[in-house]
């Protein structure tokens, strides 16, 4: 009798729980998800003391907020913002192995140090921050001094090209492909152009989202984005799914 009860409970479990349907996510929901996410994209400019280091020093990262370091290549973005009058950069120290003595030589060759700088926001930068309406904070760390400005004026999804369910282990994902019509803030678009990149108003995106069963919400995992008439230069979505090209 006891064995019959156990077998009945096992059968009941598998019939009711193990084969539940995957969470739905309509094209309409995908459109709203993307537009809300993109419209909140922001540029976070670190203020205060920073160290500019050699490009290879941060292991492929452009910026390390905890270490207050940025690569020489990433520094070009800050220099562009300075040229537009949004921030002011003061050079505190330049590391010159030929002129600065033994200490500079060690810092330059083994530490990858290039410059120590100090970054301040200008009146124009503060006005842009107020206009953008974002909190002037970096994540949960309230002590980091930053200038946060808006990237987009508006973002509209033109078409949901693909909305496909994927499962990896026990997790439910969706791959969303969409075309976008964007309007950039003039300041952000100008900075991107100054560092040699082209930003079109017509864009396309491949996004990977994951369902959180505890909050019953979809959350963004990663994405690849490009101008609509150009190839994608990244493959973050494929990498996240273990489908590296």
Structure confidence at residue 58 (pLDDT): 87
Which residue from 148, 147, 226, 153 is spatially nearest to 185, judged by alpha carbons?
153
Instruction: Give the model confidence (pLDDT) of 130-185 as tens digits.
Output: 999 999 988 766 678 999 999 999 999 999 999 999 998 899 999 999 999 999 99
User: Residue 50: what pLDDT?
Assistant: 95
Name the least confident of 44-53, 100-109, 191-200: 100-109
Q: Is the pLDDT of residue 108 over 70?
A: yes
What is the C-alpha to C-alpha distance for residues 115 and 117, in angstroms, rounded to an integer?
6
For the residues 200-211, what does the mean pLDDT come to?
96
* pLDDT given at position 181: 96
Tens digits of residue pLDDT in 85-98: 999 999 999 988 87
What pLDDT is recorded for position 133? 93
For residue 3, what pLDDT band results from cuts at 50, 70 and 90?
A: very low
Q: Which residue, 92, 211, 201, 103, is CA-closest to 155?
A: 201
Average pLDDT in the 41-65 region? 91
- pLDDT at residue 222 tops 80: yes
Q: Mean of the per-residue pLDDT values for the chain?
A: 88
| Whole-number Å distance between alpha carbons of 137 and 65 | 13
pTM tops 0.85: no
Question: In this predicted model, which residue has the larger pLDDT, 53 or 1?
Answer: 53
Residue 245 has a pLDDT of: 52
Q: How far is CA 112 from the centre of its chain?
A: 26
So where are the chain's domains?
24-41+151-240, 42-150
Above pLDDT 70, what percent of the chain? 89
**pLDDT attached to residue 12:** 40
Query: Which of 15-19, 104-108, 232-236 has the largest mean confidence?
Result: 232-236
Q: What architecture (CATH level 2) is domain 24-41+151-240?
A: Roll (3.10)
Q: Which residue, 30, 50, 53, 40, is CA-closest to 179?
A: 30
The angle subtended at Cα 58 by Cα 227 and Cα 107, nearest 5°, is 140
């Amino acid at each position: 009798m006891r064995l019959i009860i156990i077998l009945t409970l096992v059968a009941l479990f598998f019939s009711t729980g193990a084969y539940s349907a995957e969470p739905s996510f309509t094209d309409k929901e995908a459109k709203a998800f993307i537009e809300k996410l993109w419209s909140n994209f922001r540029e976070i400019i670190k203020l205060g003391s920073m160290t500019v280091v050699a490009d290879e020093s941060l292991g492929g990262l452009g910026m390390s907020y905890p270490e207050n370091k940025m690569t020489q290549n990433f520094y070009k973005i800050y220099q562009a913002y300075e040229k537009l009058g949004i921030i002011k950069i003061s050079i505190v120290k330049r590391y010159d192995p030929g002129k600065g003595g033994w200490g500079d030589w060690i810092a330059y060759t083994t530490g990858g140090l290039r410059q120590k700088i100090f970054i301040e926001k200008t009146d124009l930068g503060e006005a842009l921050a107020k206009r953008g309406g974002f909190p002037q904070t970096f994540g949960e760390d309230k002590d980091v001094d930053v200038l946060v400005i808006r990237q987009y004026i508006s973002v509209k999804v033109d078409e949901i090209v693909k909305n496909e369910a994927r499962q990896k282990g026990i997790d439910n994902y969706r791959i969303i492909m969409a075309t976008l019509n964007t309007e950039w803030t003039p300041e952000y678009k100008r900075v991107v152009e100054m560092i040699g990149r082209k930003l079109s108003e017509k864009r396309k995106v491949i996004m990977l989202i994951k369902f959180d069963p505890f909050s019953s919400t979809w959350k963004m995992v990663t994405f690849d984005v490009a101008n609509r008439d150009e190839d994608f230069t990244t493959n973050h979505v494929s990498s996240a799914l273990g489908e590296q090209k």
